Amino acid sequence: MSLAYSATIDRYVKENHLPVWVEYIAAGTHGCRVFHDHQFSEIAIVLQGEALHLGLDQSEKIRAGDVLVIHTDTIHAYDQTGNFELLNIVYDNNRLPLPFMDEKELPLLRTFLPKQSEQKKKNRKEEPVLRFDSLKPVLSLKHAVLEEIRNLSFRLNEEIQSQRPGVALLSLSLFMQIIALLARQDNNLPQEARSSFLISDAIDFLNRNYHHVINVDDLAAIVHMSRRSFFRHFRKATSYCPLAYLRNIRIRQATELLIKTELTLEQIASDCGLHNSNYLCRVFRKETGKSPMQFRKQR
């Protein structure tokens, strides 16, 4: 086996530019058994199909949703790539000055972005050898998350290519969104951190669907918790029970409509999921000490 090439970040990124790049490889276009290494890190995300990920003397079957992390000096290749669609996010970790505010809650961050001292120690060797230690996927993404990662990556690629003012800042922001979203999928997350993410999903659902009929069983099902467990984690995260939190969202939205529109109370109640104008008046007075009409007159 011979090494076809050894790539550096300069293959993708100009000097003094943000050392991040997105490489999309369409199905049916990826070469087979092209062994190579690179002097940068790479997150490889299988968008469609399957292939063999090859090391020196072993291989691993990979398929849609799998995420590989390949760091400096790792020799690898792919085989059986007929329907294989791949997205590579290329970056030079040593040139990215990044904070690690969430590394305790998201331990997988260190897999994507090892400390420089850790990577140097990992890559130190007495003589050149063919080696491979990133054969298996670190994650296997569900379809919805895979689509979100795909969309964010294409946005990142578009931003990098645009070279508009602020491109480095916005590109770095998108890159970190991708990294954080991937790290959240770690099955080894501490249970408390995993529960917090799930509660965040429930809160996001409430903010987008407050005008619909929602009950606690629906919310618990969305985040795959029992009713009792969901209630406990939600109260711990927000200091409110779920329906009280929902009511606060609805009152906040009703307040906005009272200030910014001339809609009737019946229309506002309907738009905010508050059943009718009588119920709106009752809960609005309870929360604010004023009736909706008194509030509107004093705006």
Q: What is the pTM of this model?
A: 0.60
With vertex at residue 134, the alpha carbon angle to CA 133 and CA 140, rounded to the nearest 5 degrees, is: 150
pLDDT score, position 10: 87
* Residues facing residue 2 across a β-bridge: none
Tokens standing for 206? Answer: 């409430």
Specify burial of residue 108 (Cβ count, 10 A radius: 0-12, 13-18, 19+): buried
191-299 topology per CATH:
Arc Repressor Mutant, subunit A (1.10.10)
| Cα–Cα distance, 105 to 282 (Å, whole number) | 42
Q: Find out whether 149 and 65 touch, Cβ atoms under 8 Å.
A: no
Tokens standing for 152? Answer: 């964010």
Q: Find out whether 198 and 223 touch, Cβ atoms under 8 Å.
A: yes
Contacts of 25 (CB under 8 A, 6+ apart): 84, 85, 86, 87, 88
| Cα–Cα distance, 45 to 185 (Å, whole number) | 14
Residue listed under structure tokens 């040593």: 94
pLDDT in tens, the chain (299 residues): 678 888 888 888 887 889 999 999 999 999 999 998 888 889 999 999 999 999 877 889 999 999 999 888 788 899 999 999 999 999 998 888 666 556 666 777 777 777 644 444 444 444 333 333 467 888 899 999 999 999 999 999 999 998 888 898 899 999 999 998 998 887 665 566 556 667 878 888 998 899 999 999 989 988 888 999 999 888 888 888 999 999 999 999 999 999 989 999 999 999 999 989 999 999 999 888 889 999 888 87
| Cα–Cα distance, 210 to 269 (Å, whole number) | 11
Note the CATH architecture for domain 5-184: Sandwich (2.60)
pLDDT score, position 22: 96
Q: Where are the domains of the chain?
A: 5-184, 191-299
pLDDT score, position 115: 61
Tokens standing for 16? Answer: 């003094």
Q: Find out whether 25 and 86 touch, Cβ atoms under 8 Å.
A: yes
Residue listed under structure tokens 């130190």: 124
pLDDT score, position 130: 35
